Structure 1
Amino acid sequence: MAQKIFRRLVVAAVVGIIGYNIYEIGIAEVLGSLPSNPLFYIIFFLIFLTLPTAEIFIYRQVWPIKRRKIFRAALTKRVYNEEVLGYSGEFYLFTWARKHLDRDDIDILKNVRDNNILSAITSNFVAFSLIGTLVFTGVIDISNLTGHVDMVYLITGIVIFAALIALFVQFRRYFFALPLKKAALISFIYFSRFIVHNSLLIAQWAVVIPETKLSVWLIFVAVVIAVNRIPFLPSRDLVFMWAGIELAKALDMATASVAGMLLVYSALKKGTNLLLLLWFSYYPDGIQASPQPAGVQPETPPHSDPRHSDAQSDTPPQSDP
């Protein structure tokens, strides 16, 4: 109960701050700056589908379940994580997989855990790499906060980071159960998804404000990644909208255009999640096939057990243990 109240207070505070910022900019000016280019909306749906599409290939590495079923489960997982609570989507995925797999609960839980670990490692690597590049190329000036950054500190940091990676690889079996080759493949899929997702974000923003430099959009991407890595944060898109408006002011951008762009993006995401939630509630098992005409007997599948039905076809390639 206390957690729900806290989440609602956080969301209410963020909405209040955003509302005040929009009022300061000018409601009419923000409404007049809403994206009108259809390409903005087309790119939104491409962005929305990047994660569930990637998770088809990711979870097919560990679960012999049909792609369309994984896609539906990945969409539901996304809705739960974004609209209910962080990691509630992983709990849903665990309970869903129990119904579709003839495996021990601990094995299913390890699969979900391992993929979360690899996702976190990959996203943090992308975030630190991006922020480091922006800092050391002078796009982000932190000299006022840190002073002159000596090359010795930089080399020391790289060595420590490499040592941590080496230790993680050496003792990986204590952290997760996936074989190294399969873990590397899943990490590559996550990395590719991050690149595609964030490139589409930049393309979408550039459609609205084309005169903005790429380096500025990279700063926005760094903020997006940072916000998304905060655990149990409710309504991350609203938090990023608030941060984006403040960032636009600091960078002397067209604040009304940025506010309108992020407002529409947030509304589209909320609306799409709501529609998916209603759809999945109404059709919990998907749209069923039409009933057979009278007198026609349906064919009986060779395996009647639903735990085995998903593994009859479309089985992923086996990897070396």
Structure 2
Amino acid sequence: MLPNSVNTPLQGFRAFFTRLIDKQKMGDKRLKQALSIIRWLALAAILTFLIYRLSKIGWNSLYESRPTSVLFYLISVLMFMVMPIVDKINYFIMTGHNIPEGIKVFSRKQVFNEAIVSYAGETYLCPKLAALPGHDTRKALIAIKDNTLISALVSNTWTLVLILCVWWVGRSDILNEIWNLSPILNGVFGAFCCLLYLVSIVFFRKFMKRAFREIWRVAAIHGVRIIILAALQIAQWKSALPSEEISFWVMFLAVQTLVKRVPINGDLMFLSVALLLSGFLNGDGNTVTAMLVAAAAMNQIVQFAAFLLTSDVKSKSRESRPHYPLAEHAAAE
């Protein structure tokens, strides 16, 4: 047994580190709360701005100018389903297993990422992957990291291609307008994205421990996903405004892609930026605005419906289904 002269300092050190850990946990909790408050304040500010700008245009005018094509609203559902299907395929490639109720899980992940904040869905997905045979939290995080890096690299490359296309079709003026909205903020954000893009290219092999064949398969699927979504998006806009030229839709697509780099509700951010840009108001401005409002509203409705449809419902057969307490805890958070 240690003498009191030794035991007392050890107890003091133990108490000190215990208090330090407790403070760190409290700090993490407060940081999460602060980020949550900032996120909801940002969404509230966006909604307030949208209500103000749309009220100035006139709600009756927007309603009368709304898209009437059934295809316009159906495409919103098709666009939502693309990402869950792609995720199901890619995570099967990387884990070798199908996640139980995969489409349901990946649809809910999509809702978290689109309606709340980017990568919130990955937090929900991690325990689901960790529950697969031969997997744990570490392997789940590696799979998520690899898929995210590949997706980001492909998506950022696509963004650069779109920017070049906007310049090629002679609509670079719209990029200047976006820059003029907030040069400092756009400059910092653009520099940060470019730095991440360069780092991801230079250190890609150090970040990725997978075989090239597997990487290329996942990258190819993400590439197909981007092309399908772009085609569906242009088809949706075209169904509402069939008279517009292709350069107009390329410009639309480029701005939407750039705006969705911001990790907050992409649809509402895109609508907010669109209302600030005079370049969007070619022809009948009310028709363009009504189309954007209808698309954003429809996307929110689809996401809300998906959230309800993927919620766990108590039933007699629930006990027979796989039970993941960690995943349910993450979903509750």
Q: Does the alignment reach a TM-score above 0.5?
A: yes
Asked whether the 8 Å contact 2:129–2:136 carries over to 1, the reply is no
Letter in 1 for 2:294: V
Find the counterpart in structure 1 of residue 301 from structure 2: 271
Query: In the TM superposition, what are the counterparts of 1:29-68 in structure 2 within 5 Å?
Result: 29-66=61-98
Residues 100 and 306 of structure 1 are in contact (CA less than 8 Å); yes or no, is this contact kept in structure 2?
no
Is 1:187–2:219 an aligned residue pair? yes
Q: Where does the alignment leave 5 or more consecutive residues of structure 1 unmatched?
A: 147-160, 292-304, 308-321
1:260 to 285, 290, 297: 290
Question: Counterpart of 2:253 in structure 1: which amino acid?
Answer: V
**Other-structure match for 1:243:** 273
Q: Which one of the candidate residues 67, 72, 92 is aligned to 2:104? A: 72
Q: Which residue of 1 aligns with 2:188?
A: none
Post-superposition offset of 1:208: 0.6
Matched, 1:15 2:47: yes
Q: Which has the higher contact order (CA 8 A, sep 6+)?
A: 1
Alignment of structure 1 residues 220-235 onto 2, 5 Å = 220-231=252-263, 233=264, 235=265
CA distance in 2, matches of 1:142, 1:237: 18
Does structure 1 retain, via aligned residues, the 8 Å contact 2:174–2:277?
no
Q: 1:13 is matched by which residue type in structure 2?
A: A
- The verdict on how the C-alpha distance between 1:143 and 1:100 changes in structure 2, with shifts beyond 3 A counting, is closer
Against the structure 1 CA distance between its residues 257 and 167, is the aligned structure 2 distance closer, same or farther, given a 3 Å change threshold? Answer: closer
* In structure 2, C-alpha distance between the alignment counterparts of 1:204 and 1:143, rounded to whole Å: 23
Counterpart-to-counterpart distance in 1, 2:67 and 2:145:
39
Say if 1:80 and 1:130 are closer, same or farther in 2 by CA, change over 3 A. same
When residues 67 and 281 of structure 1 are mapped into structure 2, their CA distance, relative to the original with a 3 A threshold, is closer
8 A Cα contact 2:46 2:272, kept in partner: yes
Rate the CA distance shift 1:83–1:250 in 2: closer, same or farther, 3 A: closer
Question: What is the CA deviation profile of residues 66-121 of structure 1, one whole-angstrom value per residue up to 9, with x for unaligned ones?
Answer: 37732222111111112333211011111111123322322221110010011111
User: What is the identity percentage for the equivalent residue pairs of Structure 1 and Structure 2?
Assistant: 27
Report the alpha carbon displacement of residue 173 of structure 1 after superposing the two structures with TM.
Answer: 3.5
- Pairwise CA distance, 1:282: 3.1
Return the alpha-carbon distance in structure 1 between the equivalents of residues 135 and 118 of structure 2.
26
Pick one of 231, 238, 246 that aligns with 1:214: 246
Q: Which runs of 5+ in 2 are unaligned?
A: 1-32, 180-194, 325-333
Distance in 2 of aligned mates of 1:287 and 1:189: 38
Alpha-carbon offset, residue 65 of structure 1: 2.8
- Alignment match, 1:300: none
Q: Which amino acid aligns with 1:262?
A: L
Give, in whole Å, the separation in 2 of the partners of 1:287 and 1:219.
Answer: 52
- Closer, same or farther in 2 for the Cα pair 1:25/1:52, shift >3 Å? same
* Letter paired with 1:189: I
**2:128, 2:316 → 1: CA distance?**
17
Asked if 1:196 corresponds to 2:207, the answer is no
Cα distance in 1, alignment partners of residues 290 and 319 from structure 2: 44
Asked whether the 8 Å contact 1:127–1:225 carries over to 2, the reply is yes
The one-letter code matched in structure 2 to 1:62 is: M
Please provide the CA RMSD for this pair. 3.2
Q: Does 1:114 align with 2:170?
A: no
**Distance in 2 between residues matched to 1:41 and 1:167, nearest whole Å:** 38
Identify which of 299, 303, 313 aligns with 1:283: 313
Q: Do residues 125 (structure 1) and 150 (structure 2) align?
A: no
Structure 1 residues 111, 264: closer, same or farther in 2, change over 3 A? same
Q: 1:175 to 1:287 in 2, by over 3 A?
A: farther
User: Deviation of residue 279 (structure 1)?
Assistant: 2.8
Match of residue 123 from structure 2: 91
Give the residue type in structure 2 aligned to 1:274.
F
CA 1:143–1:259 in 2, change beyond 3 Å: closer, same or farther?
Answer: closer
Q: After TM superposition, give the deviation of residue 280 of structure 1 in Å.
A: 2.6
Q: What's the offset of the Cα at 1:26? A: 2.0
- In structure 2, what residue type is equivalent to 1:63? T
| Conservation of the 8 A alpha-carbon contact between 2:77 and 2:302 | no
Residue pair 1:245, 1:258 contacting (<8 A) in 2 also: no
Aligned mates of 2:110, 2:173 — CA distance in 1: 35
2:129–2:135: 8 Å Cα contact kept in structure 1? no
**Distance (whole Å) between structure 2 residues aligned to residue 136 and residue 143 of structure 1:** 13
Give the SS at the match of 1:100. Answer: coil
